[in-house]
Chains A and B, each alone.
Chain A
Amino acid sequence: MACKLREFVQRVRACKTAAEEREVIAKESAAIRTAFKDDNPKRHRNLLKLMFMHMLGYPTHFGQMECVKLIAGNSFPEKKIGYLGFMLLLDEKQELLMLVTNSIKNDFNNANQFIVGVALCAFANLCSAEMASDLAAEVSKLLQHSNPYVRKKAALCCVKIVRKVPDFGESLLRPAITLLSDKHHGVLISAIKLCIVLCQTNSTLLEQMRKETSNLVEILKNLLTSEYRAEYDCSGISDPLLQIEILRLLRLLGKADADSSDIMSDVLAQVMTNTDARKVPGSAILYECVQTVVHIEATKGLRVLAINVLGHFLSNNDNNIRYVALNMLVKIVALDLQAIQRHRSIVMECLKDADLSIKKRALDLVYALATEDNVKALTKELLEFLMNSSRDLKQDLTMKICSVIQKFASSKLWYIQNMIHLISEAGEFVKSDSLYMLIVIISNTPKLHGYTVRLLYNMVGKWKNQESFALIAIWCIGEYGEMLVNHAGELEIEDPMTITEHEVLDTLEDIAAKSKESINIRVFLLVALLKLSSRYDTCTERIKDMIENYKHSSTLEVQQRAVEFSAIILKYSSIRKVLADRIPALNETVYESKRADGAVAALGPTVRVASPPLFSENHITAPTICTKLSSTDSVNLLDLSIDKEASGQTLDGFSMLQDLLNMDTRSSSKSSPYTGISDIDKNFTEDSKEHPSTSFGNEQFLEMYSAQGPMFPSIVALQTNRLKVLFNFSKPTNNPEITMIHATYLNCSSDLCTDLMLQAAVPKFLLLKLDPASGNILLPNANGTITQCLTVTNTLHGQKPLMMRIRVTCKVNGQEIVEQAQVENFPSGV
């Protein structure tokens, strides 16, 4: 029944399907289980088969006890397989571990070095904190064993013990230092590792270890100058792995200690100048040495030498070597910026590497290397690089460029130029607050309005389907469109050009045609057209036609604007000029504070640079007010009220820009679970924060605006298939804060409604008084009404509009019916 290991492996490998393999394994498992029961002498062979199954991922827990039995056996082959099985099939969390502690202890004292060795190996692999405490004394005794094979293993077991129970460190210091004078390389490297762990866990041990610095330097020097020994030679370098370990220990000893740093600096320089970097072992030594130099109190010369080593790494053909060099340079960039700057051109080359992880690291480094002096050249190079970069890198790259531009911008002209180029190239990756920032800066720089709009106009011809770029271009053309035509504010660097009004409109049409899906672009376009209608006198008709086209848009927002705007152009040309006037300069300080708030809220994985207010030297205060309308609310349509509490940064996309044009693409009806009056009240306050502007009925507000009287149209506050509630408004002439609402209830269904009752909730700035209703029974089919009077006092009249949530309860056929609605469409001015 039982077969040899080799046969078993062959059989498993011959299986063609997973099911077949499972069957073979199941059969063999069963056989092994029975074999284990009758104390078969082939136990170790069976165990090896189990290990093979385990490697394939099959359950083998029933073999664990067998391992324990084998370990307790006498012969070397049994022990060896027992320990191997134990290490493979168990992890150090299992309780079975307790059972072998004693066997391991006995094997430590075996006369055979290999049995001691295999026991030490199992100990190192599986030792738990408990086991470490139990056997620490035995293991440290083995550090003085006559056989180096045992000594080196014991030293590494001590490493494990100290990692598990750091308290043992103190007692291990002396033996560890003694081992440092061992001639056997295996023992030496293990001893150094033990010293490293001791230094890392305990600072007093580190102090005592410092006395060994010169000793270690001596060992390293001997390695460098020793004659050729084939056993330790590795492509012409004498025992590179040992050298690396010594350098690592020296790093700990020299850190924050001038004396020991001084002792080791000669040998470090020697390593850096004499090691051949062409092969991996040499580079590994150099890399370790550079790390040591960077961490100790090295002289400036030594540091420059180290950075130059990394510079050489960058031009190496091996990806791995370039990778570590970049990684290291990013870490030490603060240490010696000047020395690293010298290698900037090579770093830029690494950006073009085929390997993404190298590119990313190079980018990090380039970003870290940006200073005020090199920012212009650097940004130019990065922008060029952006055009050809792959998509996976673009996002990171765009954010970095954006951050560099914002951080180091020395003039507004440079800032605007570069931001616009960046957005035209990769606008989708530019954060919305950066876009908003750009708009704020543009609007605050009257001297550059003309230049900016002409630059955008020229670039929009080569538009690369970046929505945010189109939005900024359209916005600027809308605001500063006349400067395209009349050459206002022309700078010396510009080529004079002649653009006609019709050409501008052609361009806008072109963008609209290219971006069929984007609602944002459409909405921005409509606003721009309205603005241009008052500035381009020769094309009023054409603009009117363009707006008319959108009257049949299937998107509500677009259609509504088109209808409103064409009404403004047709019927209200007297106020058109005022409505379409340029917006006042956006307030930078408000924006800055908003950005600071956002930065706190958005403390994500990306590092935010602390940003001082941009261009504070020529900060423009006192925005010019251009609105002359008496009713503040009616400006809402084109309002740019940035003092709203809406935090655009919490929303993705173009919420900032949408803010600018007060565009509300969210649906106006909101349903939130009704939990109680106080909750409603809270909701209201929150709602009013994020949603202070209201959408009006199409032309309603315009009518109102021209009427200028205290008459208000009635609204439908609630309409369901059962109930309808109408609100009529009146205002006492002496106090504008008070609004009387006359509510009328209608029953549209064919069932009788009884016990009708209204509840209403308002935000805190409103005071509400409910008069008793005229009755509580509503006849079916709208045969009869109930009226009720509500008195609302708006303590923030003129600042905040009215809003209310109402709930109507009634009984129909003995069943209670609840209807509720949020009333937001109050006429302006109430």
Chain B
Amino acid sequence: MIHFVILISRQGKVRLTKWYSPYTQKERQKVIRELSGLILTRGPKLCNFVEWRGLKVVYKRYASLYFCMSIDPEDNELECLEIIHHFVEILDRYFGNVCELDLIFNFHKAYYILDEVLLAGELQETSKKSVARVIAAQDTMVENAKEQANSLTNIIAQATK
């Protein structure tokens, strides 16, 4: 299973973290510190797997962002690379040529998407299209709710005039 997902920028700034195994808040900080030290310094021609504290960390760099996932030692590293790629492609489709800034300003959207791809540290959906579909549907729901709320406040505002 995947124990955690971390997105770090090349400067070591955290852009997204998701923990599927129990780590306390303190441990989480430590893990991020250690891993960014380990991964950001690796040369470009090295393989994308790092052995770390009895786990394997699979990472891949897309533009200025490092996508890191930690898996059990007996898990399939190539599969994990493919999952990372799967996630990135979905992000790309959603944001339209995704860049780091998209993930900074819309970090909650990135979390929503990740929650549709992975659950409990396991892959839940292999179809990019169906992820895109449910995300779009949820976005519409949020928009509708907002409009409704706005119109409600309008009504109240008018009534109290």
Q: Is the CB of A284 within 8 A of B78?
A: yes
Interface residue B134 (Cβ < 8 Å from any Cβ of A) = yes
Q: Is the CB of B120 within 8 A of A241?
A: no
Partner pick for A284 among B79, B138, B146, CB 8 A cutoff: B79
Nearest Cβ on chain A to B98's Cβ, whole angstroms: 17
Interface digits, B93-135 against A, CB 8 Å rule (1 contact, 0 not)? Answer: 0000000000011011001100100011011111111100010
Partner pick for A92 among B17, B22, B111, B122, CB 8 A cutoff: B22
Q: Is the CB of A77 within 8 A of B78?
A: no
Interface residue A242 (Cβ < 8 Å from any Cβ of B) = yes
Q: Is the CB of B108 within 8 A of A81?
A: yes
Interface digits, A484-495 against B, CB 8 Å rule (1 contact, 0 not)? Answer: 000000000000
Name A1-25 residues within 8 Å CB distance of B. Answer: 5-6, 9, 13
Q: Is the CB of B126 within 8 A of A280?
A: no
Q: Is the CB of A320 within 8 A of B145?
A: no
Residues of B within 8 A of A51 (CB): 107-108
Report the separation of the CA atoms of residues A408 and B122 in the bound assembly, to the nearest whole angstrom: 47
Q: Is the CB of B126 within 8 A of A242?
A: yes
How many A-B contacts at CB < 8 Å in the complex? 156
Interface residue A239 (Cβ < 8 Å from any Cβ of B) = yes
Q: Is the CB of B138 within 8 A of A80?
A: yes
Interface residue A828 (Cβ < 8 Å from any Cβ of B) = no
Q: Is the CB of A186 within 8 A of B47?
A: no
Nearest Cβ on chain B to A43's Cβ, whole angstroms: 13
Partner pick for B138 among A114, A159, A242, CB 8 A cutoff: A114
Q: Is the CB of A320 within 8 A of B78?
A: yes
Report the separation of the CA atoms of residues A149 and B128 in the bound assembly, to the nearest whole angstrom: 14
Interface residue A354 (Cβ < 8 Å from any Cβ of B) = yes
Q: Is the CB of B126 within 8 A of A189?
A: yes
Residues of A within 8 A of B141 (CB): 76-77, 114
Interface residue B81 (Cβ < 8 Å from any Cβ of A) = yes
Residues of B within 8 A of A358 (CB): 47
Q: Is the CB of B120 within 8 A of A156?
A: yes
Interface residue B41 (Cβ < 8 Å from any Cβ of A) = no
Q: Is the CB of A84 within 8 A of B81?
A: no
Q: Is the CB of A284 within 8 A of B81?
A: yes
Q: Is the CB of B105 within 8 A of A241?
A: no
Most buried by A among B15, B51, B115: B115
Name B14-72 residues within 8 Å CB distance of A. Answer: 14-17, 19-20, 22-25, 28-29, 45-49, 51
Q: Is the CB of A287 within 8 A of B145?
A: no
Majority-rule SS of B interface residues: helix
Name A144-160 residues within 8 Å CB distance of B. Answer: 149, 152-153, 156-157, 159-160
Q: Is the CB of B122 within 8 A of A153?
A: no
Q: Closest A residue to B153 by CB, please name it.
A: A41
Residues of B within 8 A of A120 (CB): 119
Nearest Cβ on chain B to A240's Cβ, whole angstroms: 6
Interface residue B88 (Cβ < 8 Å from any Cβ of A) = no
Q: A121-B119, A186-B130, A319-B45 are in contact. Are A80 and B142 (CB under 8 A)?
A: yes
Q: A55-B14, A125-B120 are in contact. Are A324 and B146 (CB under 8 A)?
A: no
Nearest Cβ on chain A to B153's Cβ, whole angstroms: 9
Name A306-364 residues within 8 Å CB distance of B. Answer: 319-324, 354-358
Q: Closest A residue to B86 by CB, please name it.
A: A241
Partner pick for B48 among A185, A193, A281, A320, CB 8 A cutoff: A320
Partner pick for B108 among A48, A248, A283, CB 8 A cutoff: A48
Q: A13-B104, A114-B141, A189-B124 are in contact. Are A84 and B111 (CB under 8 A)?
A: yes
Report the separation of the CA atoms of residues A121 and B138 in the bound assembly, to the nearest whole angstrom: 14
Report the separation of the CA atoms of residues A321 and B22 in the bound assembly, to the nearest whole angstrom: 31
Residues of A within 8 A of B15 (CB): 55
Residues of A within 8 A of B79 (CB): 241, 244, 284, 287-288
Report the separation of the CA atoms of residues A121 and B122 in the bound assembly, to the nearest whole angstrom: 12
Q: Is the CB of B112 within 8 A of A124?
A: no
Residues of B within 8 A of A185 (CB): 125-127
Nearest Cβ on chain A to B103's Cβ, whole angstroms: 11
Interface residue A732 (Cβ < 8 Å from any Cβ of B) = no
Chain B contact-residue range equals: 35 or more
Q: Is the CB of B82 within 8 A of A241?
A: yes
Report the separation of the CA atoms of residues A240 and B85 in the bound assembly, to the nearest whole angstrom: 13
Report the separation of the CA atoms of residues A320 and B127 in the bound assembly, to the nearest whole angstrom: 25
Name A234-248 residues within 8 Å CB distance of B. Answer: 234, 239-242, 244-245, 248
Nearest Cβ on chain A to B19's Cβ, whole angstroms: 7
Nearest Cβ on chain B to A110's Cβ, whole angstroms: 13
Q: Is the CB of A232 within 8 A of B47?
A: no
Q: A52-B107, A76-B142, A323-B47 are in contact. Are A160 and B19 (CB under 8 A)?
A: no
Q: A77-B145, A91-B23, A114-B138 are in contact. Are A153 and B124 (CB under 8 A)?
A: yes
Residues of B within 8 A of A239 (CB): 126
Q: Closest B residue to A60 by CB, please name it.
A: B25
Report the separation of the CA atoms of residues A494 and B159 in the bound assembly, to the nearest whole angstrom: 112
Name A466-500 residues within 8 Å CB distance of B. Answer: none
Residues of A within 8 A of B22 (CB): 91-93
Q: Is the CB of B122 within 8 A of A159?
A: yes
Residues of B within 8 A of A281 (CB): 82
Partner pick for B134 among A76, A80, A114, A320, CB 8 A cutoff: A114
Interface residue A75 (Cβ < 8 Å from any Cβ of B) = yes
Q: Is the CB of A186 within 8 A of B126?
A: yes
Interface residue A560 (Cβ < 8 Å from any Cβ of B) = no
Q: Closest A residue to B133 by CB, please name it.
A: A149
Residues of B within 8 A of A193 (CB): 122
Interface residue B155 (Cβ < 8 Å from any Cβ of A) = no
Q: A91-B24, A241-B83 are in contact. Are A231 and B142 (CB under 8 A)?
A: no
Report the separation of the CA atoms of residues A624 and B28 in the bound assembly, to the nearest whole angstrom: 67
Nearest Cβ on chain B to A247's Cβ, whole angstroms: 9
Interface digits, A71-94 against B, CB 8 Å rule (1 contact, 0 not)? Answer: 000011100110010001001110
Q: Is the CB of B24 within 8 A of A152?
A: no
Residues of A within 8 A of B83 (CB): 241
12 more contacts with CB within 8 A, not counting A75-B149, A149-B134, are A55-B14, A76-B138, A77-B145, A91-B24, A118-B115, A125-B19, A125-B20, A280-B81, A280-B82, A319-B46, A354-B46, A355-B45
The contact sample of 5 A-B pairs, CB cut-off 8 A, is: A51-B108, A91-B19, A125-B120, A323-B49, A358-B47
Q: A-side interface residues toward B, CB under 8 Å?
A: 5-6, 9, 13, 48, 51-52, 55-57, 75-77, 80-81, 84, 88, 91-93, 114, 117-118, 120-121, 124-125, 149, 152-153, 156-157, 159-160, 185-186, 189-190, 193, 230-232, 234, 239-242, 244-245, 248, 280-281, 283-284, 287-288, 291, 319-324, 354-358
Across the A-B interface, the 4 shortest Cβ-Cβ residue pairs: A284-B78, A124-B120, A319-B47, A160-B120
